[in-house]
């Protein structure tokens, strides 16, 4: 075949592969449709599975006569709490029910299970959590959870696969349940009870004795935790090797995790550019940070901090795993279309904003919106959320509850977050109303037909006590979006 045609075919294929991401980029540039978080079908399915699993675990426990009765009772209680905890999270809308993200994650999971047929597939269920912290967990009864915060940071599908393999390894090795049993065994064992009674009878030095007694147990338990993590890395790596995913990405994931405490985007925020208006100029005193000149000393630690860590350092994990991972690999970092994965990461970022808003962390939400506007400057949803956050903080401030929705400024925060929190606490009620009002004025010509933004026009009018403005925007919204997201959200 002539080279030109082959090249054309490649180009077409390339475009087709990236088409979803182009579409999404166009979508994310303009606005955003929040994900669905719970539906009755999911809830009922999870309830059934969890109840069945709990019964099975309790039955197994009761038949294990090697464990003392009082300990079995306590372990059963912890199992029940665990199950109930997951059910509560589902009811509270903390787990995603939206296909756009969940499907990508589920497909990766399915790819792992298919190439590892010995895994107990019927026992497993996967959740994507709204949690913004970069983490994943295994609950020990078959539920694996991966957080939005972690999904938003992954670079490719193979990294996602390694994370899921790691959590699967915890499940297969029964790490969680073993840990529960070890802990209960220690607390309720005859030796511990005798020791506690002895300490209770002693007149002096109880705290020191408890410290010594628990210290060694605690350190031992944490040592086990760390070795379990290393074991999960190794076994997870073994599962990953059975797939077509790039095993080199396992060690790259560890390098990523090493830096994950730092924010993804570190560019500063130009607050003046966002909030300045000729009618109401931005005041630099709002973001003037005062250095704390109080005490800053050492803190007493009852136990040695390094010995309490549940995870080994990422460097150690990397050093152990990297000899097994080749320098280069012929496998692909992606099995699903690259665009799908990129879409999922992007959605995760927006869902972080939506989750912060949902959980009423309005100060944090506002910060993330401002940060993402550096990347998606024309996104109506982000602009709308800024106004909505200002409104909610304004309401909280009126009710003297700003401390519940905005974190106090702290030098340990990033510079931009510290400045924003300082501003949110320092501004007067009038400042909030004016900033929101002029922000809407600045952007409304571009976004007035967007559902989120139109609702935020209504909120800004409320802050200015502009009844006419509220009525106009409400009417416009009800006409354009009769069954929209905010039909129940009007205050009058």
Minimal distance, residue 361 CB to other proteins, in Å: 14
Output the smallest distance, CB 403 to other proteins, in A: 3
Residues 51, 11 contacting (CB under 8 angstroms): no
Residue 298 CB, shortest distance to other proteins, in Å, is 7
Residue 52 or 411: the one with the smaller Cβ distance to other proteins is: 411
Residue 458 in tokens: 């209504």
Distance, CA of 95 to CA of 92 (rounded, Å): 8
Q: Which residues contact 405 (CB under 8 A, 6 or more apart)?
A: 360, 361, 362, 363, 392, 393, 396
- Which three-class secondary structure state does DSSP give residue 102? helix
Closer residue to other proteins, CB minimum distance, 126 or 405: 405
Tokens of 294: 């109080």
> What residues contact 161, with CB distance under 8 A and at least 6 apart?
108, 111, 112, 240, 243, 245, 249
Closest CA to 283 of 429, 389, 423: 423
Nearer to other proteins, 13 or 70 (CB): 70
Which residue's CB is nearer to other proteins, number 176 or number 218? 218
Q: Strand 125-129 to strand 143-147: parallel, antiparallel, or no bridges (unpaired)?
A: parallel
The residue among 82 and 474 lying less far from other proteins, judged by its C-beta, is: 82
End-to-end CA distance of the chain: 69
CB of 410 to other proteins, least distance (A): 7
**CA atoms within a 13 Å half-sphere pointing along the CA-CB vector of 294:** 3
What residues pair up with 73 in beta bridges, in sequence order? Answer: none
As measured in angstroms, the least distance from the Cβ of 58 to other proteins is 19
Measured from the CB atom, is 300 or 483 closer to other proteins?
A: 300
CB environment 141-159: b (16+ within 10 A), e (fewer): bbbbbbbbbbbbbbebbbb
> Residue 387 in contact with residue 456, Cβ under 8 Å?
yes
How many CA atoms, within 13 angstroms, populate the side-chain half-sphere of residue 29?
Answer: 6
**Which tokens sit at 90?**
């589902």
The least distance separating other proteins from the CB of residue 480, rounded to whole angstroms, comes to 35
Closest to other proteins by CB, 116 or 361:
361
Contacts with other proteins by CB under 8 A lie at 70, 183, 187-188, 193, 196-197, 199-200, 203-208, 210, 214, 218, 290, 292-300, 302, 397-404, 408-410, 425-426, 428-429
In the complex with other proteins, which residue's Cβ is closer, 180 or 316?
180
Task: Determine if residue 385 is left, alpha or beta; phi over 0 gives left, psi from -120 to 50 gives alpha, anything else beta.
Answer: alpha
Which candidate, 389, 472, 384, 397, places its Cα nearest to that of 430?
Answer: 397
Minimum Å gap between C-beta 288 and other proteins is: 11
Residue with Cβ nearer other proteins (48 or 193):
193
Residue 395 CA to residue 177 CA, distance in Å, equals 45
Nearer to other proteins, 205 or 377 (CB): 205
Categorise residue 174: left if φ over 0, alpha if ψ from -120 to 50, beta otherwise. left
Crossing angle, helix 206-241 and helix 314-321, to 10 degrees?
A: 40
CB of 166 vs other proteins, minimal distance in Å: 26
254, 318 contact by CB (below 8 A): yes
| Between 124 and 184, CB nearer to other proteins | 184
Closest separation between CB of residue 269 and other proteins, Å? 22
Min separation Cβ 491 and other proteins, Å? 18
Q: How far is the CB of 400 from other proteins (least distance, A)?
A: 5
Tell me the three state secondary structure of residue 144. Answer: strand
């Amino acid at each position: 075949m002539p080279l030109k045609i082959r090249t054309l075919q490649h180009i077409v294929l390339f475009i087709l592969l990236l088409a979803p991401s182009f579409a999404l980029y166009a979508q994310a540039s303009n606005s955003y449709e929040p994900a669905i978080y719970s539906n009755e079908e999911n809830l009922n399915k999870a309830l059934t599975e969890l109840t069945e699993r709990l019964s099975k675990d309790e039955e197994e426990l009761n038949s294990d006569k090697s464990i003392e009765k009082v300990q079995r009772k306590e372990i059963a209680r912890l199992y029940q709490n665990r199950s109930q905890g997951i059910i509560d999270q589902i009811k509270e809308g903390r787990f995603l029910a939206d296909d756009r993200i969940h499907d990508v994650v589920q497909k990766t999971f399915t790819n792992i299970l298919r190439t590892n047929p010995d895994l107990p597939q019927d026992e497993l269920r996967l959740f994507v959590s709204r949690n913004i912290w970069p983490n994943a967990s295994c609950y020990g009864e078959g539920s694996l959870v991966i957080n939005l915060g972690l999904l938003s940071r992954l670079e490719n599908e193979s990294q996602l696969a390694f994370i899921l393999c790691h959590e699967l390894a915890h499940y297969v090795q029964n790490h969680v349940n073993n840990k529960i049993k070890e802990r209960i065994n220690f607390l309720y064992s005859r030796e511990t009870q005798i020791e506690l009674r002895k300490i209770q009878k002693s007149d002096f030095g109880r705290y020191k004795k408890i410290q010594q007694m628990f210290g060694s147990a605690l350190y031992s338990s944490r040592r086990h935790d760390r070795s379990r993590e290393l074991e999960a890395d190794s076994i997870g790596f073994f599962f990953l090797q059975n797939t077509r995913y790039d095993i080199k990405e396992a060690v790259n994931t560890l390098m990523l995790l090493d830096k994950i405490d730092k924010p993804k985007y570190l560019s500063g925020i130009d607050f003046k550019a966002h909030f300045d208006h000729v009618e109401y100029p931005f005041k630099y005193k709002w973001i003037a940070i005062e250095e704390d000149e109080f005490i800053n000393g050492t803190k007493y630690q009852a136990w040695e901090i390094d010995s309490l860590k549940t995870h080994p350092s990422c460097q150690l994990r990397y050093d152990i795993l990297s000899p097994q991972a080749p320098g280069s690999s012929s496998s692909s970092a992606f099995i699903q279309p690259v665009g799908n994965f990129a879409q999922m990461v992007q959605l995760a970022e927006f869902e972080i904003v939506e989750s912060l808003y949902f959980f009423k962390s309005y100060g944090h939400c506002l910060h993330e919106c401002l940060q993402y506007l550096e990347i998606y400057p024309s996104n109506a949803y982000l602009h709308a959320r800024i106004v909505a956050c200002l409104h909610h903080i304004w309401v909280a401030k009126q009710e003297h509850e700003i401390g519940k929705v905005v974190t106090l400024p702290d030098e340990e925060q990033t510079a931009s977050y510290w400045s924003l929190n300082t501003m949110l606490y320092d501004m007067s009620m009038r400042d909030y109303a004016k900033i929101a009002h002029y922000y809407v004025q600045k952007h409304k010509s571009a976004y007035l037909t967007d559902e989120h933004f139109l609702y935020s026009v209504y909120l800004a009018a409320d802050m200015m006590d502009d009844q006419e403005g509220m009525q106009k925007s409400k009417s416009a919204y009800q006409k354009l979006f009769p069954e929209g997201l905010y039909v129940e959200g009007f205050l009058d």
